Structure 1
Amino acid sequence: MQSPKLLSVAFPSLRCLRPPLPSTGPNFGPVTKVPEASKKFILERYGTYWSDSEGSVKTRPLPATIDDLAKMFHECKFFGYMTPEICALLLDISEFGLAEHRPTNTIIGLPVGPRFYMKFLEQIWFILFVPRYRYGISGYSPDIPYTDDWFEEAGIARDKALAEDYDPKLCKEVSRIGTAGVEFHKEVAGWQGSTLQSDLEFSQLAKAIMGLPAKHPARVEMIRGIFSR
């Protein structure tokens, strides 16, 4: 039992990749509807930053747009280890923090909500929200080969183009069959994927196992799985 994206060694995200969202797409609704525990968590965990220009710690307000949310998550150990608190926050945002969206015409399809992309290690990752539902999705691309211009404008442009090329495919699949592909095949539109609910359940299990005594068989096996990758 392994989930690399939850238990791998994490390093800060290198940069945000946020393809333009549809102008008619939903955005954040009243932030007051998000449960207090999640509002407190996001402000305590991501609500402060260092301002080089002013030489002091600054405080961010609650995010008003999906772009604001992505900026709060930028340069943090977000995809390296999705804790139960982070998963619960993302689910709460999806259910309570997004503006109402018109339902799709399909029976099993879902409305395509705001999403953002980030480069993390060798993959491009994304989070997609489903307004008014706890059906959000996380996923990541196949490994991107290292090149000498990895950190330069040309490399960043290629990553951005890859995310922009994938985004319509993601939207099409979610609007057509919802999360069925993720739930049954662990992929979405050709990339690896999982539901935020399954991420939450696994992170809760991992946290419980890591709280066991050091020599407990379940804990030993989980640690062995991490370092055998």
Structure 2
Amino acid sequence: MYAVHNVTADDGLLHLTSQLGDVRTHDPVSMTTRVRATGLDQPTGIAVAPDGALVVAETGAGRILRVDDTDTAGALAEGLDHPLDIAFDGRGRCYVSDDRRGAVLGLEDGEAVVVADGLGEPQGLAVRGDELFTVEVAHRRLRAISLATGESRIDAEDLAVGLPPGITRTEPEPIPGVPGRPCQFAGLAVAPDGALLVSANGEGSVLRLDAPAG
């Protein structure tokens, strides 16, 4: 009903971004919803910072927003190309995927620093231990990046993400306040047991990639 684009869970609450340009927090127990921010330009990825604030990728505006507990929004970083997803590591450092730039960026004092580039349209992000994972939609694969060394590897290939090979589609410009066709987004999350969950938007399924034994 809110044209939900992305969602994250924290302490029993669901925080979501909407194609209508909203950020909301939903309490599934009381069945109440709180509007946290409105009038945003294509908010997409959302994550909860260590201090409890919501951090949102405002994709259309090329910036990362922080929404505090008083529902005040401020920019953490600006001037990005097309930021899509947000993830935090265990030390509270923030990472952003930018599919048009083909990079994963780390935010340091309001500046976006390249963590990995030369990627094929990275979208979903997740951190497990000292590794950062991203879905490279253009190459239909999952890449793991060491946060300690910067080295990377491919953990899965031929994923059903994005449009089928050889198919292209031109999206119309969004109309503010009017939900259009859902944007293509291959999300990524870490399950409680360490498995990675990929939203295979190319076929409408969720894929589970188990963590290595041991």
Give TM-score, length-normalised by structure 2: 0.25
Larger Rg over CA atoms: 1
Structure showing the higher strand proportion among its residues = 2
Structure showing the higher helix proportion among its residues = 1
Q: Which has the higher contact order (CA 8 A, sep 6+)?
A: 1
